[in-house]
Structure 1
Amino acid sequence: MQFTHYSFLFLFLFSLLVQSITAFQSSKTLDEFIKKSCQVSRYSELCYSSLSSSYTGDPDLGKLSYAAIRISLDQALDTAHYVDETSTSSSSSSSSSSGAEELVPVRDCMELSKDAVHQVKKSLDQMARVLREDEVENSRKRRFEMSNVQTWMSAAITDQDTCVDGFSQVHGGKLQNQLTAKVEMLLKFISNALALVNYFVQSSH
């Protein structure tokens, strides 16, 4: 009876050990996959840090690309909200001609940021549809849909590039510097997501 008890305990502990080793190996494999995938991006360290801390799925490039777009959308929404609030507060407090001049690119950037959100959201929805489809049966449709994702993500980058260019046309100030830093960070996230999308498309051929 005692022998049976110890045997059961040993098997239980051994099972826990095997599960721990498997989980560790799986985590290490996923971490290496993310790091390797992010090497195709321009801002690889940001790519790795943002995905390694949030992505817990399979080592699948399509799913990883989706996660990167999801992160970009969160950043785009945050940036659009920040620009909108900045535009509102600046409008109510600005009275000088230089302040009014600085508001023009802020308002333009507000519209561009909203469009960037729209473009990234479309990309996320399209990517979700691609991942649900059968790759073999819908290869032509899949290529078309992925082309849309690439186009829309590129459009979002253009939106934010235009925003930064607009700020460079006015006299520098604290407001301009804060907004530029915010938009440039969003640009990095979208750039990384697009790099993974492009990598996914190339790997699918």
Structure 2
Amino acid sequence: MMGLSLRFYLLLQTLIFSYTLVAGAKHPRHVSSSSSAGDLVRKSCVNASFPGICYRTLSEYAGAGAMRTPRDLAQAALGVSLHRAGKASLLLRRLKARSRREKAAVSDCLEQMGDTVDELSRSVAELKHLRRGIAFQWQMSNVETWVSAALTNEDTCLDGFKEVEVTVRSDVNRRIRNVARVTSNALYLINQLDTSRHK
């Protein structure tokens, strides 16, 4: 299922996201804009699933003046999650599985992470084109469903490595848990966006 085209897609997503992050950081806006964005990040992350990670990963955007609204923040959080999911998938592709069990775990996890990348990509696209009224609720429901599914995929991936050799398992666990934490934070910020109905 994870062919060459998806591998290229994951790499392309990673490069595009990294370029966006760097380009934004090179052109900071006025100090007051950066300060208000920092306040937005701080207030929004305080009750997130992993507040320290939330603040650390999203404060880069605040410094670049890229966030003014909770919607901007949710989009940035999804971007972070997508970026890390892509990197984790590339790492899995490079793993040299030694046993049949390891190969099966890597293959299953690659499929799960491929689905995660797809679901997060659709969520990013949906948030960019939010409409008003009933359409808004329908779109937000889609995004919440996709991001929740991405979290489930990450858990399923980790489950497959429970019986795998410790060295491989610990490296995969670290990477996938990292993705799961930023995805959980993104879901929290999306839920806040839905509750407050900010545009």
Q: Structure 2 length as normaliser, TM-score?
A: 0.79
SS in 1 for 2:116: helix
In the alignment, the residues of structure 1 paired with residue 139 and residue 164 of structure 2 have an alpha-carbon distance, to the nearest angstrom, of 42
SS in 2 for 1:40: coil
- Of 182, 185, 194, which aligns to 1:201? 194
Give the aligned partner of residue 60 of structure 1: 69
C-alpha displacement at 1:119, in angstroms?
0.7
Structure 1 or 2, whichever has the larger Rg, is 1
Which stretches of structure 1, 4 residues or longer, exceed 4 Å deviation after superposition? none
In the alignment, the residues of structure 2 paired with residue 58 and residue 84 of structure 1 have an alpha-carbon distance, to the nearest angstrom, of 34
In the alignment, the residues of structure 1 paired with residue 33 and residue 121 of structure 2 have an alpha-carbon distance, to the nearest angstrom, of 31
Give the aligned partner of residue 114 of structure 2: 114
Give percent identity, aligned residues only: 28
Deviation by residue 1:7-51 (Cα, 9 ceiling, x = unmatched): xxxxxxxxxxxxxxx933332222111110012311111111111
Structure 2 residue 187 is matched with structure 1 residue 187: no
In the alignment, the residues of structure 1 paired with residue 139 and residue 148 of structure 2 have an alpha-carbon distance, to the nearest angstrom, of 14
Are 1:40 and 1:199, in contact at CA under 8 Å, matched by a contact in 2? no
C-alpha displacement at 1:58, in angstroms?
3.9
- Of 133, 143, 148, which aligns to 1:154? 148
Give the aligned partner of residue 136 of structure 2: 142
- Of 27, 30, 37, which aligns to 1:30? 37
In the alignment, the residues of structure 2 paired with residue 82 and residue 183 of structure 1 have an alpha-carbon distance, to the nearest angstrom, of 10
| Gap runs ≥5 in structure 2 | 1-28
Give the aligned partner of residue 50 of structure 1: 57
Give the aligned partner of residue 7 of structure 1: none
Structure 2 residue 76 is matched with structure 1 residue 71: no
Greater share of helix = 1
C-alpha displacement at 1:183, in angstroms?
0.4
SS in 1 for 2:30: helix
Deviation by residue 1:111-166 (Cα, 9 ceiling, x = unmatched): 10111101101111111111xx3xxxx31001100100000000000000001111
Structure 2 residue 90 is matched with structure 1 residue 84: no
What is the root-mean-square deviation in Å for CA atoms of aligned residues?
1.7
Equivalent residues, number = 168
In the alignment, the residues of structure 1 paired with residue 51 and residue 74 of structure 2 have an alpha-carbon distance, to the nearest angstrom, of 14
Structure 1 pair 119–43 and aligned structure 2 pair: CA distance change class (3 A) = same
Are 2:85 and 2:117, in contact at CA under 8 Å, matched by a contact in 1? yes
Are 1:123 and 1:152, in contact at CA under 8 Å, matched by a contact in 2? yes
